[in-house]
Structure formats: structure tokens, C-alpha cells
Structure 1
């Protein structure tokens, strides 16, 4: 049975670190589309960088997340996604006004429980790919929580604990 589990939430909240921990434990994982798009855009003309054209970036993220969902090999009981189609649809709605439910109508749902990394100022950091500040990250988090609830997912806020304990927490709730 396919169990696509989403790790979503605040930028810089530890999603990728948690994804890496789950991969080390043998689970199938899918990295965040946003970071991959930024890397591709830096090699190209940069027209779909989020700070250049958020709508173009969100559309690319939607396409990549859709491909990711179809291409997962299902070699483990759970497959973990760093962000999702829903995150891309939230970004697209914010940038263009396109309604999330319309954007997602053709796509199958993910597992019912979504794990959200909360805003965590102490670990938040900007880098060359994350150029927005903490306040913008919190705004993004708030939009995501509202959207996931609106779509009927069970939103579980991850505790601010060490990554190994976070992974244990996630796996305990999936059993």
C-alpha cells in the first residue's frame, strides 16, 4: 500500500534534516522541489527563481512535485516527501490567486497525517537559496497550516527536539 507522507511547515524548521534522518533509517525520501528548482534556475536564466517570479517558481514546483509523486518506487512502507503538491499550490495561490482546490483537483491525495515543522527561530538561517527572512517564513507556515486544514489533512506540529527524537515521534504516530 502506498503511503506518501508529507513533511511540511516553516522554511528553516528542520524538514530536510528530518528527511535525511528518515533516509538513514531506510525509508524512501523525496527532496524538496524548491531547492532543486533553484539549483536548475541558477544554471539557466533564473527567470523562475522565487525572488524573481514566484508564480513561475510555484508552477515549476507543482510540476516537479507531481512527477515526484508518480516516480516514487514504493520500496519502503512509508515514503516521505520534503514538501508536496499542496505546498506548491499554496505558493501558487499566494502568487496568482489560483484556488488551491482547483489546482489540486486532478491529483491523488497524500497520507492523511501531515507533519509540520513549526517556526523555530533558534535554528532558522538564511543562505544563498533561502533569501527570505524569518517573518516571511512564519507567514508561509501560517498559510500552509490553513491550507492543509482546509483540505482535510490531520496537521501534526512537530516538537522542537533533536532530529533523532523527531524521527522517532513521526514513526510512532505512523504505527
Structure 2
């Protein structure tokens, strides 16, 4: 097998990432769902305090471990789209004014992604809260800014997707990676 491509799709909460990744998966592309949403559901179901709003360090450790596992599993495919990547966890920690463990930076260097990252801008028209998305639109916008700064700071090239339909966004990404 040739070079494995691992593309990250990121942005603030409620910007359409998961819908976009689901659409790519339905179109036949290998995808990795947003780990933090799955983790929040699991931790809430267990009655755990290992949640981003209670113990962000514990939560981040678990998410990073699952992101590394997903990265390893992606080796089975020539190309995989990830709903968030390791730099997202770093951005959330920075925004919470928490230290970033050195091992996260090592994890990022040992689990590289494509340098082109697709970022979705805040989009108030589609933003909704749910059981895993508790932030206000203003908080989601601040998270988006932290994510932009973090990815740029680690040398990624951000390609912002238009506020458009799922199919238009999928077309935009596929055109960009040709």
C-alpha cells in the first residue's frame, strides 16, 4: 500500500463537522467519528466525573488514547477523514488555561496527519445544543478561534470550508485533495 492520507476535519462545536464526516462515510470514504462525543456519552452513562466540564485532564487523556487507537486503525485505508485530531485536545486545554502534557506533543509527532486541515467556521444558523454540546454559540466561536491558533501554531495549513450544504462541502473537500 502507498502513502496513507489522514485528513482532519475540525472547527468549533455545532459547525457541521459530524454531519460532514457522516456524509463522507456514506459516500464510501473511511472516516473516524468524533471521539469526544462518544466518550462524553460513555462517561455520563457510567456516572463518571471524567468529563470535560468536571475533569478536563482526565477526559483529555482518554480522548488522546482513543485518537491514537483510531489513527492506528486508519492504516487499513489509503485515506481516512477524522472528525477532530490531537491538536483539538491541545486547543481545548489551552482554552481552559490548563497545561498541555508534553506526551501529547510526542503523541502528535508520532501520529502525523496531513498538513492540510479542513476547518468549519462558526455557523449560527445550524448551531444547536444537545446532551454532548453544552456550550453557547459565543463559547463555540471562542473554541473555533483556539482551534485555529493551535493548528496554525503546529504548522498545519487550514482550509476553511464554506457555509454550504453537506454535499457542497463534500465536493469542496474532494476537489481540494485531488
RMSD between superposed Cα atoms in Å: 1.6
The answer for the alignment partner of 1:159 in structure 2 is: 162
Identify which range, 160-169 or 54-63, moves more after superposition. Answer: 54-63
Q: 1:13 maps to which residue? A: 15
Aligned to 1:114, the other structure's residue is in SS state: strand
- Return the alpha-carbon distance in structure 1 between the equivalents of residues 89 and 61 of structure 2: 7
Q: Quote the residue 2:126 is aligned against.
A: 123
CA deviation after TM superposition for structure 1 residue 128, in Å? 1.2
1:19-61 CA distance string (max 9 Å, x none): 0111111100000011111111022122112222222222211
Contact 1:5 1:114 in 2 (8 A): yes
Unpaired segments ≥5 residues, structure 1:
none
Q: Is the 8 A contact 2:64 2:104 kept in 1?
A: no
Q: Distance in 2 between matches of 1:80 and 1:96?
A: 29
Could you tell me which runs of 5 or more consecutive residues in structure 2 were left unpaired when the two chains were aligned.
Answer: none
Q: What is the number of residues matched between the two proteins?
A: 174
Is 1:174 equivalent to 2:177 in the alignment?
yes
Instruction: Describe the shift of the 1:63–1:96 C-alpha distance in structure 2 as closer, same or farther (beyond 3 A).
Output: farther
Q: Give 3-state SS (helix, strand or coil) of 2:8's partner.
A: strand
Q: Runs in 1 of length 4+ with deviation above 6 angstroms? A: none
Say which of 23, 26, 29 aligns to 2:25.
23
Q: Is the 2:36–2:63 Cα contact (8 Å) retained in structure 1?
A: yes
CA distance in 1, matches of 2:148, 2:90: 13
Q: TM-score w.r.t. structure 2 length?
A: 0.91
